[in-house]
Amino acid sequence: MSVRMIEYREALREAMSEEMRRDKRVMLLGEEVAQYNGAYKVSRGMLDEFGARRVIDTPISESGFAGMAIGAAMLGLRPIVEFMSWSFSLVAADPILNNAPKMLYMSGGQFGCPIVFRGNDGAGGQLGSTHSWCVEGLFSNVPGLKMAIPSNPYDAKGLLKTAIRDDDPVFFLESERMLAAKGEVPEAEYLIPFGQARVCRVGTDCTIASWGRPVHFAVDAAEQLAKEGISCEVIDMRTVRPLDIGSVVRSVKKTGCLVVADQSWSFGSPGSELAAQVHQHCFDDLDHYVVRVHSADVPTPYAQNLEAEYLPNARRICEAVRVVTYNT
């Protein structure tokens, strides 16, 4: 069987296009998604195939078009809202946090909100502190929403298809640093259920849990540590809401220690939540307390060298693993 390698952005496009062919209620809107084929060419060709009624260019008005799409979702459509960057979603905080995730609850079950918000998350490479937001710490705090953060093309496609079919609002976090990354994606249709982590490297000495772009840092760290004789098990969480804590618990019971690599800031983050849950479930299995590797607790620097050092990079993950395995 031949192996088909496609880019992360193509995987996203395939997911959206397949779902739009399957379900007429699915539509895409956002800045430059139609005429310009997407600011990052994720939606290339979709205007030609689906027409201007289903692939809609919006003004630069996140609060307006996100709110409009939420109304459309309440009345039965299944909009996909592309934020050019999740950094720009902050001006739409009221509709996406105050309306979409609460609608089912506040309407007493009368209105759901089957919507997908997607876009680039995290430091994209010298974009400065206002355009480098990791929103997972802020937004995963809100009950009523789901959050997927795929690290590779295969997961991006399978999770996005699941997100579009989900009856709840899904926050789908991508990264411009991964859009051009290629990975194997089969021709045949598949879906990846939410709340199911994936072991992307098996090991015995230390568990590293991560999601999104830092999964790559974790894999790099694991390769380096293997040369030092430390065997790491890397788990890609894939979704943080729901969080597949069971998979991490099983791994930690084997290795006795855990390092969490999380691109968001440390205070009140998915990483701190994961650590707290592991301490709860694995108290007697831990040989060391959980160590978290986050972005540094400062606004994202602009300078290239500082940005690289700010991120939860492979070197910092290696240091953390040596600490929790007492190999310092």
Would you tell me which residues interact with other proteins (CB under 8 A)?
1, 23, 25, 76, 78, 109-112, 114, 151-152, 154, 158, 162, 165, 167, 181-186, 188-193, 195-202, 204, 215-216, 219, 223, 235-236, 242, 244-247, 249-251, 253-254, 256, 277, 280-288, 326
Type and span of the H or E element at 131: none
In the bound state with other proteins, the residue whose beta carbon lies nearer, of 44 and 111, is 111
Active centre residues (catalytic): 62, 131
Going by C-alpha positions, the residue among 98, 92, 86, 88 that lies closest to residue 66 is 92
Strands 5-7 and 26-30: unpaired
Our CA dihedral for 44, 173, 148, 325, rounded to 10 degrees, sits at 130
In the bound state with other proteins, the residue whose beta carbon lies nearer, of 41 and 182, is 182
Residue 70: partners with Cβ closer than 8 Å, 6 or more residues away: 95, 96, 99, 100, 103, 113, 115
Least distance from C-beta 231 to other proteins, angstroms? Answer: 11
Q: Write the DSSP symbol of residue 324.
A: H
Contact of 43 with 9, CB cutoff 8 Å: no
Least distance from C-beta 100 to other proteins, angstroms? Answer: 14
In the bound state with other proteins, the residue whose beta carbon lies nearer, of 63 and 277, is 277
- What's the angle, vertex CA 121, arms to CA 118 and CA 126, rounded to 5? 140
Least distance from C-beta 244 to other proteins, angstroms? Answer: 5
In the bound state with other proteins, the residue whose beta carbon lies nearer, of 162 and 300, is 162
Contact of 156 with 16, CB cutoff 8 Å: no
